[in-house]
Amino acid sequence: MEANRRTFLKAAGLTAASANRILGANGRVNAAFIGMGRMGRENLRYAAGQENLNVAAVCDVYELNLNKAAELAKKKFPDVRSIRDFREILADKSIDVVCISTPDNWHAYMTVEACKAGKDVYVEKPVSVTVEEARKMVEAARKYNRVVQAGTMQRSAAHFQKAVEIIKSGELGQITTVHCWNYGNMPVEGIGNPADSDPPEGLDWDMWLGPAPKRPFNVNRFGVDPNDKWFAHFRWFWEYAGGMMTDWGVHWIDIVQFAFDEAMPTVINCVGGKWRLKDNRETPDTIHASYEYASGCLVTYENRYGNAQSMFNKGGGILFNGDKATMFVDRSEYRIIPERRPRRPMAAPPKGQPQGTPAEEITQVKSTDSGNARHWANFLECVKSRERPNSDIEKCARSSVTCILANVALRSHQRLDWDHQKWTVRQGEAKKFLSREERKPWRINV
């Protein structure tokens, strides 16, 4: 058994000493959390519920968030340290894993540097701001033999896993269209138009910007609500994120590609713009993205802020449309609606069956868990086994890039042909949107 263990560790690029360090004392791993806003504290709560994890440190450039996280962590881990500079965590050899819940503009740099420092990583979605950054994250995980779990936790929720199993079984028949959406009706003033100002006390604004261009502080670019009523508004600015397409769209597209055996689209189109909201956000308030997959399926994602009416009275979700049945799935449930028997268009329905009514009853299965706790359990299990987790970085890189490409198509006004082997597009005019120049000293080197 010991000989087999040594062979396994060698194949994984690990020494017995490094594996023992990963396991930690009494089978526990030491974890540090970077980025302690609302999402960071959510991750802290779910991780703290795992029996084999010790929270050693929390880190944030904003003192208010740092103090909130420290107060939360000390309820169970009284020795937790509060740190302002994430580089101190990466240099600490006692830290086994890091959770990165910063704004998106930091995800790639921190993940690559954590991998280089010999640490396993749980990184929030979308994994990056650009296609090139996502590629480097996968490269770093493989080069340094690290376990990297992305925060698309729906992959670990039981009802999503069952829904994907049903789709792969062929129960829905041939699926030629899939529709994903997020709908809402927001007042036209949106998040407002605050003037640039000095940053709040306790915030290192230059460190918050990190790889992004230097900009004066604006409360919407930062976008943190001290009362935690909303998630930060940085999501609506191109230099830090990708709007609803990458923030929410990635959750739905990730499940679609989970069901499609991780295939990526071959053709991407996207239309839309900022047509309703009068605030200072940069990303669109109305968007329609379409993807063609080689299997012969058209996938669409739609977001709007001017009308909340939707199918099944749901603000968001996915419809898989097969020739045998349609499946609706969101975080609360999945439903299967059988198709009528195929017949010619305009033909009369069978006697006694109204037009549009399925011949069989709808199957409805409610969610039993959010997926968050199971996602963390899966990550920590893989930290020990060295297997790839449910949302391995390569899987989420594919889903994130699929969403990023919609934004590239929108901003370049190009129909894109995607080469998933070379991770690039054929349209030269669009290629400038696939990468960015990181601000010194935060350039990514794998």
Confidence of residue 344 (pLDDT cuts 50, 70, 90): low
Q: Reply yes or no on whether the pLDDT at 361 is more than 90.
A: no
DSSP assignment letter at 419: E
pLDDT per residue as tens digits for the range 189-225: 999 999 999 999 999 999 999 999 999 999 999 988 8
What stretches of 316-444 show up as alpha helix (H) in DSSP?
372-385, 393-412
Q: Reply yes or no on whether the pLDDT at 65 is more than 60.
A: yes
**Burial call 207-225: b when 16+ CB within 10 Å, e when fewer:** ebbbbbeeeebbbbbbbbe
442's CB contacts (< 8 A; 6+ apart) are: 109, 210, 211
Q: Reply yes or no on whether the pLDDT at 10 is more than 70.
A: no
Q: Reply yes or no on whether the pLDDT at 270 is more than 50.
A: yes
pLDDT per residue as tens digits for the range 370-406: 999 999 999 999 999 999 999 999 999 999 999 999 9
- Three-state DSSP at 232 gives coil
297-304 and 424-425 strand pairing? unpaired
Q: What residues form DSSP beta bridges with 292?
A: 267, 298
Residue from 104, 445, 427 nearest 243 by CA: 104
Confidence of residue 8 (pLDDT cuts 50, 70, 90): very low
Q: What pLDDT shows up at residue 96?
A: 98
pLDDT per residue as tens digits for the range 78-113: 999 999 999 999 999 999 999 999 999 999 999 999
Q: What percentage of the chain has pLDDT greater than the value 70?
A: 90
Q: What pLDDT shows up at residue 229?
A: 80
Q: Reply yes or no on whether the pLDDT at 12 is more than 60.
A: no
pLDDT per residue as tens digits for the range 28-54: 899 999 999 999 999 999 999 999 999
| CB of 291 closer than 8 Å to CB of 298 | yes
Structure pTM?
0.91
- Three-state DSSP at 42 gives helix
The arithmetic mean of pLDDT across residues 407-413, rounded, is 98
Q: What percentage of the chain has pLDDT greater than the value 90?
A: 86
pLDDT per residue as tens digits for the range 126-145: 999 999 999 999 999 999 99
Amino acid sitting at position 71:
E
Q: Reply yes or no on whether the pLDDT at 294 is more than 90.
A: yes
What stretches of 201-285 show up as alpha helix (H) in DSSP?
205-209, 219-222, 243-247, 249-259
Confidence of residue 355 (pLDDT cuts 50, 70, 90): low
| CB of 319 closer than 8 Å to CB of 327 | yes
**Residue 123 and residue 100: Cα distance in Å, rounded?**
5
Q: How many CB atoms lie within 10 A of CB 18?
A: 13
**Residue 254 and residue 270: Cα distance in Å, rounded?**
18
Confidence of residue 26 (pLDDT cuts 50, 70, 90): low
pLDDT per residue as tens digits for the range 224-268: 887 878 789 999 999 999 999 999 999 999 999 999 999 999 999
Structure tokens at 10: 């060698």
Confidence of residue 16 (pLDDT cuts 50, 70, 90): very low
The arithmetic mean of pLDDT across residues 317-343, rounded, is 93
Average pLDDT, the chain: 92
**Residue 107 and residue 138: Cα distance in Å, rounded?**
12
- Three-state DSSP at 115 gives helix
Q: Reply yes or no on whether the pLDDT at 24 is more than 70.
A: no
Q: What residues form DSSP beta bridges with 304?
A: 183, 286
Residue from 158, 146, 199 nearest 331 by CA: 158
Q: What pLDDT shows up at residue 19?
A: 43
Cis amide linkage into residue 441, ω under 30° from 0 = yes
Residue 70 CA to its chain's centroid (Å): 25
156 or 361: which carries more pLDDT confidence? 156
Q: Reply yes or no on whether the pLDDT at 311 is more than 90.
A: no
